Amino acid sequence: MAFRDTQYRTRHPMLRPVMVVWGALVALLVMPFPAPLVAQSSKLLTASTLDVGDAGNFGKTVPRSAESPTDDFVRYRFPDQCEQAMRRLVSEYWRDKRRDTVRYAPATDSVPTFALREGRRCASQFSIATTPVRELFGLSQLYLWTQQDSLARAALDRLMQANAKRLPAERAWPFYEFTTSLLAVTPVRDTLALAYLRRLDAMGPAAATLRMLAHTQMSQYALTVNDRATAESEARAALAASHQMSMNDRIDGLPSLVGMYSVLSRAVTFTRSSQAALAILDTAITDLIPLRPEGRLRSGIQSMIGEMRIPVRAVGTKGLPAVHADRWYGTNGDSVRPRSGRVTLLVFSSTSCSGACYETFAIMRRMHARYGDQLDLVFMTRTEGIFRNKLVTDPIIEADSAGNYYTRFMRLPAALAVEITPFHRIADGRRRNEQTSNEDTFALGGQGIVVDRAGVVRWTGNVQPSDEALMSAVIGEAVAAKP
């Protein structure tokens, strides 16, 4: 089974020019990304990568000649120093890119050319045979970042051979770290991660805690790329591993166990039904509550599981109330939403989100481009007494400003519903906003809701890159379903 590699893809995090400063300004070259690994990934956006030449010299003031290279990394004595330097270069590159084109692009390599080249040059100082055992894991991570997977596996194998006589938990830790690292590097090595997770499973109860954590992360990743069957199977494997944990480990790892049930219930919601998922959360109550004594800690666990039930319970419900608005924009007079017989994506956010919502706006545009008139888009917002960092005392002026901004400037292909927010003043005169009708009605565990033609809720969650693949697939299924 293969699901898709993954990485955030951005051309924007703060609307600033796309440049990397590392020593000096250098020429910008665009590098195409490799083709996605699977059909679904081909629909995901890939952003250009900049090759900034030798910008990655880590502060060196002496220029390096291609014909006569100097050793820029002589001060790096350990492999993980090279890895950290490479991470810095990648972070520097992506930090200022545009967020309004972010996508979760699994098969895409987001490591800039110069960072990959500099990382490999730094890695060339080390060898598996001569690196001390205590540094072998760091070396394996460096090889992953520099996309030298065969060397990464060889480094880990030598580490495991050196640790052969250690306690099982000590032998399991590198496997766990390596497995989860394979889900964090770019591009993600999902197939290799599964192979090492199976080796971790072979260690049995001695590695139960680490197995539970690794399977949970694998399930979470699978869900973000819309591999629902894998998401459920991995989450159930995590549950099985949790039952082999010692009582002390279960008590210490209670937050992780709560997270495991959250991932499992979310997966089952979309593989089976919300009722099956609610049954899993009922099991979580009986499984986890006895781990805490009476008092605040126990009530806290109950409260968290109660919050987890909200989005699960919403999926499958029918008959959402109509969206409320004091002012509508972009509707041509037809302001009843969601409309009967139409598939609808409802998105809620505040008027002050502006740039922070650009990636959400981009997802809405992509859904419109993909499904066209088969999908109704509704953006719900509210007045807050401030718009684009300026105080606005008249709520109608603020609503009209929002209407102009979203429908004309941002060109959102959506009906815009603006509520005038009730508020009160505290003693020092500051404004405190109160709940609006839409916040009360549509607070279903995220900022987005997909409603099918029959008015049944099919998905709830956040309209963000990591949730886009699943959300888009659910919309596609609702659109394809017969009226």
pLDDT tens, 416-438?
Answer: 999 999 999 999 999 999 999 99
Amino acid (1-letter code) at residue 252 = D
Same domain, 360 and 307: no
The pLDDT value recorded for residue 156 is 96
38 falls in which pLDDT band (50, 70, 90)? very low
1: in domain: no
Same domain, 44 and 95: yes
Contact residues for 11 (Cβ-Cβ < 8 A; gap 6+)? 18, 47, 48, 97, 98, 100, 101, 102
Amino acid (1-letter code) at residue 403 = G
The pLDDT value recorded for residue 351 is 67
Vertex 467 angle, CA 464 and 472, to 5°: 105
Which residue range forms the structural domain that includes residue 472? 327-480
Same domain, 281 and 379: no
The pLDDT value recorded for residue 54 is 32
**pLDDT tens across 223-276, in order?**
999 999 999 999 999 999 999 999 999 999 999 999 999 999 999 999 999 999
Is the pLDDT confidence value at 62 over 50? no
CA 352 to centroid of chain Cα atoms? 23
Same domain, 137 and 256: yes
The pLDDT value recorded for residue 29 is 28
Choosing from 314, 335, 358, the residue where a domain stops is 314
Ranked by mean pLDDT, the top range of 46-50, 90-94, 322-326 is 322-326
Q: Which residues pair with 122 in a beta bridge?
A: none
Choosing from 283, 314, 345, the residue where a domain stops is 314
Same domain, 283 and 431: no
144: in domain: yes
The pLDDT value recorded for residue 469 is 95
Contact between residue 143 and residue 155 where contact means Cβ atoms under 8 Å apart: yes
Tokens 């810095």, residue located: 88
- Alpha carbons within 13 A on the beta-carbon side of 291: 23
Same domain, 139 and 208: yes
- 317, exposed or middle or buried, with CB in 10 Å at 0-12, 13-18, 19+? middle
Mean pLDDT, residues 142-154: 96
CATH of the domain at 347: 3.40.30.10
**pLDDT tens across 388-404, in order?**
888 999 999 999 999 99
Number of domains in the chain: 2
| Residue 49 main-chain phi, psi, to 5 deg | -110, 140
Same domain, 301 and 332: no
Same domain, 257 and 331: no
Choosing from 266, 292, 314, the residue where a domain stops is 314
Q: How far separated are the first and last CA of the chain, in Å rounded? A: 33
Same domain, 268 and 358: no
Average pLDDT, the chain: 84
The pLDDT value recorded for residue 448 is 95
